[in-house]
Amino acid sequence: MDAMQRKNLRLVRRLILGCLLMFCFGFALVPLYDVFCKVTGLNGKVLNVGPVSIGGQDLARTIKVQLIAVNNEGMPWLFKAQTPQLEVHPGETRKTAYLAHNPTASRMVAQAIPSVAPSEAAQYLHKVNCFCFDQQPLEGFETREMPLLFVVDPELPSHIKTITLSYTLFDITPKSEQHTELIGDRSTTRRIWL
Amino acid sequence: MTTLHQSVKQTEQHGPATGLTRWLYTTNHKDIGTLYLWFSFIMFLTGGCMALMIRAELFQPGLQLIDPEFFNQMTTMHGLIMVFGAVMPAFVGLANWMVPMMVGAPDMALPRMNNWSFWILPFAFGLMLSTLFMEGGAPNFGWTFYAPLSTTYAPPSVTFFIFAVHMMGISSIMGAINIIATILNLRAPGMTMMKLPLFVWTWLITAFLLIAVMPVLAGVVTMMLMDIHFGTSFFNAAGGGDPVLFQHVFWFFGHPEVYIMILPAFGIVSEIIPTFARKRLFGYASMVYATASIAFLSFIVWAHHMFTVGLPLAGELFFMFATMLIAVPTGVKVFNWVATMFHGSLTFETPMLFALAFVVLFTIGGFSGLMLAIAPADFQYHDTYFVVAHFHYVLVPGAIFAIMAGAYYWLPKWTGHYYNERLGRWHFWLSFIGVNITFFPMHFIGLAGMPRRIPDYALQFADFNMVASIGAFIFGFSQLLFLYIVIATIRGGEKAGDKVWEQPTGLEWTLPSPAPYHTFAEPPEVK
C-alpha cells in the first residue's frame, strides 16, 4: 500500500466516523428536545409528577384552573371534566376528576396526554396523582371517574391568574383486540425515556 | 498541508472499454460524470412532467384533469425528484468531470466507490417511482414529509419511500467522501488551497455539508420507519412523542440541504463570469470565506421554516436575525460578481447569459427569502404561493440555470465540439422568459393568500395561475431544445481548441478538447 492509499484511507475513516456521529446526533436530538422543553417549559409538556412538599398555602391569591377535555381524531369516548373550572389557592392540594364513557360494545384502551397553557405555568402545576400516568382500559359501555390530584406551586409568577390544563385522549387499543373501525389509529407503546 | 507526488505507474494509454459494460464497470471519473449528468437530465424531465401535470390542473380553478389525491402525489414526487434526483446528481456529475481536471489529479481518489455511488441512484429512484403504481399510490405528504402525515396517515408505499431516501443518502455521502478525498489528497504540486478554482472550493464545502446532514436525514426517516412498523412513538403524541420534533430534525437537515443545492452553483458562476468578462475574479479570498460563512450559518437557522408552530418569542427573534445574517456573505458574493464584470470586456455567449440570469434572478429569490425571514410577516406568507415563488426562484433560475451554464461552458471541453451558439441563445431566452412568466406571478397570488399544495383555488387567483401555467409549458418544452443541442454537439460541430474560450483560467483548459480518457497521469506543475 503506498503512501497515497494510506492517506486516503485515513481520511475516509475519519469522514465515515463523522457520518456515524451525525447519524447518532440525529437520534440524540430526541432526548435533547425533551430536556430542552422540560427546562424551558415549552410545549406545556412538563410532567411534574409524584408527591410534592409545599410550604404552606397562599390564601391571598386565587388561581383559576380550567380543565379541558379533547378527543383525538377518531376517538369515540365521551370525555369531560367533572368541573370545568376550579378556583384554588396556591399550595392547596385539590382533588377533581374526569369522566369517561366508552359508548362502543368492545373493550378499548385510552391514553390521555396533558398540556398546560400558558407554557410558563407548566412547571408550577404539580400533578400528585393523575389518570394520565397510566393507560385507561374501559369495557364496552363502561363509565368511569378518573381522578386527578394537583397542587399549584406558590412560586407561580404573580401575573398568571389562569392556568389551562388540557387533556387529549388517544385511542391506543392494541390492534389485536380492536373491533371498531377507526380512522388512522396505530398501536403505540409509551416511549421508554419519557 | 503538503501534497504528495502522485504518478501513475502504467503509462500506456488505453481508451474506454466497449459496449454496455463500459458504463456498468467504469471507474473513470469522466464516464461516471457523464452517467450522473444523463441520469440527472432524465430525472429533470421526469420531475418536469410532474410539474406540468400540476400546472395543467391549476390552469383553471376547479378540478379538471387529475383527482386531488393524485395531485398531492405529484407535488410530493416532483419535489423529491427535482431535489434528490435532478439538482444534486447534476452537481455531483459536474464535480466528477471537473474536479480532478481542475486540481490536476488523474482521477477521483476512490474510483471504485465512485462507480458504486452512481449505480445506487437508478435503483433508489426506481424504487421511489415504483410507488406510483402501488396500492394506495405514491407518497402524498409533500417533499418535506411532515409527521404524522408521513407516519400515521401515510399510504403503505411510505416504507419504499424511506428505503429510497436511505439509498440516495448513502450515494450522496459516498460521493461527498470521494470529492473531499480528491481535493485534499490529490492536488497537483503547487496547487495550494488558496489557488483552488472556486468551483472546487464550493464543492469542498458542500461535501462537508453533505457529510454533516445526510446522516441526520437518514436518522429522521429511520425514526419514521420505527414509528410506523415497530411501535415507537418518536412523532406520535399518543405515545408521548411530538410531531414538532419531526420538523426540528427534518429542517436541521433541510436547511443545509438547500445550500448543498446552491453552493456549487456559486462556484460555477464564479468560473464563468471571469472568463466572459476577461478579468480575474474580484475578491477571490472573500468568496471563499463567504461560502464558508454561509455553510456555517446554515446550521443555526433551521427553525425559520417553522415560525408558525408556536416557537417562543426568543426563538423567533434568534432565528429571524440569524437568517438575515446570511444576506451578508451572500451580498459579498453578488457584489464580487458585479465587480468582476465592472469595466470588463463582456461578451454574451450562452454560458454567460445563463450566469448573468443566475445573478439577477437568484438575487430576486434571495430578497423574497429575506421577506420570509421576517418572523411576524411570515405568519402571512407561510405555506402560500409566495414560498413556492421564493424557492423556485433560487432553485430554477438559481441552481438549474447554473448547471445549464456549466454544461454549455464545459461542453466543448467534454465533446471537442462547440455547441450551436444560435440555438443555445434560443434555449436561454425561452428558458429565461418561461421561468419568469411561471414564477413571478406566484409572488402576487401568494401575497394575496393562495395556499400551496392545493389542486383547486378561489376564483380571484385564476388569471395569474393561467399565466403561470403558460410559462411552465414554455419553460418545460424549451428544455427539449437543450437535449437536442447537447446531442448535436456530441455528434459533431465546429472543432474546439484546447482553450475553447478566449481567456479561460484553470488547468482544465491546458488539456486537449475533447479531454482524453486519461488526463494528468503525470501531475502538472502549478506556479
Q: Quick one: pLDDT at residue A193?
A: 32
Three-state secondary structure string covering B229-280: HCCCCCCCHHHCCCHHHHHHHHHHHHHHHHHHCCHHHHHHHHHHHHHHHCCC
Ramachandran sector of residue B231 (left: φ over 0; alpha: ψ -120 to 50; beta: rest): left
Eight-state DSSP code of residue A19: H
Q: Suggest the residue from B5, B152, B221 to mutate for an interface test with chain A (most A CBs closer than 10 A).
A: B152
Write the single-letter amino acid at A107. R
Provide the annotated active-site residues of B: 78, 107, 143, 171-172, 255, 257, 259, 270, 304-305, 330, 333, 452
Question: CB–CB of B244 and A27 under 8 A?
Answer: no
Contacts of A26 in chain B (CB under 8 A): 215-220, 223, 249, 252-253
Note the pLDDT of residue A180. Answer: 45
List the grid coordinates of B292: 464558508
pLDDT at A179: 46
Q: How far is A84 from chain B (nearest CA, A)?
A: 23
Q: Which residue of B has its CA nearest to A11?
A: B181
Amino acid letter, B375: A
Q: Provide the phi-psi class of A37: left if phi over 0, else alpha when psi is between -120 and 50, else beta.
A: alpha
CA distance B415 to B407: 11
Report pLDDT for B313. 87
Instruction: Note whether A170 contacts B181, CB cutoff 8 Å.
Output: no
Cell matching residue A78: 365521551
With a CB cutoff of 8 Å and minimum separation 6, the contacts of B38 are none
Yes or no, beta carbons of A16 and B177 under 8 Å apart: yes
Residue tagged 403503505 (cell numbers): B156
Domains assigned to chain B: 25-510 (1.20.210.10)
* B54 contact partners, CB below 8 Å, separation of at least 6: B71, B74, B75, B78
Q: Which amino acid is at B501?
A: W
Choose among A15, A191, A194: nearest Cβ to B177.
Answer: A15
| Inter-chain residue contact A22 with B213, CB threshold 8 Å | yes
CA of A57 vs chain B CAs: smallest distance (Å): 31
Compute the distance between CA of residue B391 and CA of residue B143 in angstroms, rounded to an integer. 13
Q: Measured between beta carbons, which residues in chain B are less than 8 angstroms from residue A194?
A: 240
| Helices (H) then strands (E): counts for chain A | 1, 10
Residue type, B217: L
C-alpha–C-alpha distance, residues B493 and B420, integer Å:
7
Chain B partners within 8 Å of A111 (Cβ): 238-239
How far apart are alpha carbons B36 and B96 in whole angstroms? 9
Nearest Cα residue in chain A from B154 = A184
Nearest residue in B to A14, CA atom: B177
Nearest-CA neighbor of A142 among A112, A170, A186, A110? Answer: A110
Q: From the CA of A18, how many Å to the nearest CA of chain B? A: 7
What span, in angstroms and rounded, lies between the C-alpha atoms of B347 and B272?
Answer: 11
The CA-based angle B392-B171-A7, given to 5 degrees, is 120
What is the spatial distance between Cα B353 and Cα B343, in angstroms, rounded to a whole number? 17
Nearest residue on chain B to A120, judged by CA atoms? B312
Residues of A in contact with B184 (CB under 8 A): 11
Three-class DSSP category at A59: coil
Grid coordinates of B470: 403558460
The domain limits of chain A are 1-40, 45-177
With contact defined as beta carbons under 8 Å apart, do B340 and B273 qualify?
Answer: yes
Please judge whether B173 and A11 are an interchain contact, meaning their C-beta atoms are less than 8 angstroms apart. Answer: no
Count CA atoms closer than 13 A to B245's CA, side-chain side: 27
Chain A residues with CB inside 8 Å of B176's CB? Answer: 15
Q: Which strand (E) or helix (H) includes residue A28?
A: helix A3-40
Nearest-Å Rg of the Cα atoms of chain A is 23
* C-alpha span between A186 and A157 (Å, rounded): 40
Q: Which member of A42, A119, A186 has the closest CB to residue B152?
A: A186
**Which cell is A52 given?**
410534592
> Which three three-digit cell numbers place residue B400?
438549474
| Cell numbers representing residue A2 in the block | 503506498
3-state helix vs strand vs coil in chain B, percent to 5? 70, 0, 30
Candidates B110, B184, B242; nearest CB to A43: B242
Nearest to B248 among A20, A29, A113 (CB): A29
Question: What is the DSSP pairing of strand A85-88 with strand A136-138?
Answer: unpaired
Q: Please give the average pLDDT of every successive group of 10 residues along chain A, which has 194 residues.
A: 86 95 94 81 61 71 89 86 89 88 88 82 82 83 88 86 88 63 38 32
Query: Per the CB < 8 Å rule, is A12 touching B248?
Result: no
Per-position b or e across A126-144, b if 16+ CB within 10 A of its CB = bbbebbbeeebebeeeeeb
Contact A4 B237 (CB under 8 A): no
**Closest chain A residue to B207, measured at CA:** A15
Range B320-323 contact pairs with CB under 8 angstroms and sequence separation of 24 or more: B320/B373, B320/B374, B320/B375, B322/B297, B323/B369, B323/B373
CB atoms within 10 A of CB A80: 15
CA Rg, chain B, in Å? 23
Residue with cell 467534454: B414
* pLDDT at residue A156 in the model: 86
**Which residues of chain B have a CB within 8 Å of the CB of A22?**
211-216
Of A3, A29, A113, the CB nearest to B249: A29
**Strand A85-88's sheet: what is its strand order?**
A85-88, A63-71, A162-171, A108-117, A136-138
Cβ separation of B231 and A189 shorter than 8 Å? yes
Residue type, B370: L
Tell me the CATH number for domain A45-177: 2.60.370.10
- Of A101, A109, A110, A112, residue with least CA distance to A77: A101
Question: Which segments in chain B show pLDDT lower than 50?
Answer: 1-3, 10-11
When CB atoms are compared, the residue of B219, B241, B252 closest to A23 is B219
Quote the pLDDT of residue B296.
Answer: 96
Report pLDDT for A182. Answer: 43
pLDDT of amino acid B330 = 96
Q: ipTM for the complex?
A: 0.88
Query: Chain B: nearest CA to A31, how far in angstroms?
Result: 10
Under 8 Å CB pairs connecting chains A and B tally to: 114
Residue A60 CA from chain centroid, whole number:
31
B498 close to B93: Cβ distance less than 8 angstroms: no
Residue appearing with cell numbers 425528484: B81
φ/ψ (deg, to 5) at B489 = -70, -35
The predicted structure's pLDDT at residue B183 = 96
- What is the helix (H) or strand (E) element at residue A48, kind and residue range? strand A48-49
Q: Which residues, listed in sequence order, are joined to residue B329 by a DSSP beta bridge?
A: none
